[in-house]
Amino acid sequence: MVKNLSRKNRNCWLEPEACSRDEIFSFCSDYIDFLSECKTERECVEYIQELALENGFVPLDTLIKKGRKPVKGDRVLVNHRDKVMILFVIGEEGIEKGINLVGSHIDTPRMDLKPSPLYEEQGMALFKTHYYGGIKKYQWTAIPLALHGIVIKSNGEKLEIVVGEDPGDTVFTITDLLPHLAKEQMEKKASEVIPGEGLNFVVGTIPREYNEDGKSIKGVKDAVLELLKDRYGMEEEDFISAELTAVPAGRATDVGLDRSLVGGYGQDDRVCAYVSFRSIMDIREPKKTCAAVFVDKEEVGSMGNTGMQSAFFENALAELIALTGGNCGDLQLGRALSNSCALSADVAAAVDPNYPDTHDKENAPRLGNGICIEKYTGHRGKSGGSDANAEYIARIRQVFNGSNIIWQSGELGKVDLGGGGTIAQFLANYGMDVLDCGIPVLNMHSPFELASKADIYMAYKAYTAFYRYME
């Protein structure tokens, strides 16, 4: 029974018929494990792929090699460069009639190592970083950081490196000035307090050798290189063909006396990614083919061969049409894309009680008030965003209301204060209908983002309803 409450300010915690607390807490405990274990796009792809393969998904390449035609209920997986994953569940209708797609991104702001990162200064060895995504740089100093990533040696051997996550493991940190000597620093604008070239983190302080006078004749950098050689068989030049990144160390966690929130790094947008993954895993024999897309590079504009602007998605869909329909011309692919319905599953900016004036109160997403739909994103006069058609939003409302989904409608914030975009515009370029629809978060792009457990669970119900009932 849906209570006769106004749509605005429905609170998930007060509607146990719509979401039981046991289910909320159990779902989010699994989510906290995922968030703690997967801190790069590669780690997310590995996690999703492993569970998908265990649950009946078959790589598209395997089907192509065998020339096997996927039929209703078949589960197909596409791994693109280990940074993008697409999961398909084949429906009863032909793919040309369109698919139901939920797209999220699995990249997050972080500190990437520069191609030549290692140097020595003041008797300390440090790694230089180049930050990735939109950050407030001052939030990333004086906190424990872990190192994640891969190194490809010149012989092609791949090293997978994670340092700083296990209890008792060593961590890293970017140093910052003490307040006592920060008079000049504190007078700077917040955007200039920490310069981009000041985001270097300490990796060692023990020099390699001493001479008789106790002075170092070989430096700390040499000692670190020796350590890398011993531990990983790595040469200095190997950094050139590496993707190593520093991210906040440690596990995601419950927040609040009532444990109603999840706190952790990377919830933009791994929260929507995890939820849509769980949703598509539940889908069996749908009417329309369902797809979950997990993409990279959203935080830097969806560029590159693993961003949503790359052709990987249409290529995968074309392969699938060719397998199911026998041939695939541009016309079939065009029909499939333009007949499709999409949710751009990305986080919304919840109103912050410490800064309530950044939002128009009538259009402010609130923690606990359910999944948030945003008709459009963008900057100033809506530039750089996708604006969903009214007709499409009405259909989504119908699906959500029919499944007792608690949802809210919001905008990114006050019109003149800034703005942002999602992958919605790139999905919209295919001609398909697309709506931004995700979980509100606080502390977005910081090392410790917050989301409401009730909204997370409600998003899982919402994406599942979309897959099942969107026609």
Chain residues that interact with Mn ion, rule: CB under 5 A? 268-269, 346
Shortest gap between Cβ of 102 and Mn ion (angstroms)? Answer: 14
Asked if residue 269 has a cis previous peptide bond (ω within 30° of 0), the answer is yes
Q: What's the chain's length in residues? A: 471
Q: Which is nearer to Mn ion, 346 or 411 (CB)?
A: 346
Shortest gap between Cβ of 31 and Mn ion (angstroms)? Answer: 16
State CA 291 to chain mean position distance. Answer: 17
Shortest gap between Cβ of 222 and Mn ion (angstroms)? Answer: 39
Distance CA 139, CA 294 (A): 27
Distance CA 149, CA 293 (A): 22
Q: Which is nearer to Mn ion, 52 or 308 (CB)?
A: 308
All residues at 6 or more sequence positions from 263 whose CB lies less than 8 Å from its CB, including other chains: 252, 253, 254, 255, 448, 449, 450
Q: Closest Cα partner for 160 from 29, 300, 307, 40?
A: 40
Q: Which is nearer to Mn ion, 418 or 431 (CB)?
A: 418
Shortest gap between Cβ of 390 and Mn ion (angstroms)? Answer: 24
Q: Which is nearer to Mn ion, 124 or 439 (CB)?
A: 439
Tell me the residue number closest to Mn ion, measured at CB.
Answer: 269
Q: Which is nearer to Mn ion, 404 or 443 (CB)?
A: 443
Shortest gap between Cβ of 377 and Mn ion (angstroms)? Answer: 10
Residue-by-residue DSSP string for 255-306: ESTT--EEEETTHHHHHHHHHHHHHHHT--S-SS-EEEEEES-GGGTS-STT
Q: Which is nearer to Mn ion, 245 or 324 (CB)?
A: 245
Residue-by-residue DSSP string for 371-400: EEEESB-EETTTBTS-B--HHHHHHHHHHH
Shortest gap between Cβ of 333 and Mn ion (angstroms)? Answer: 27
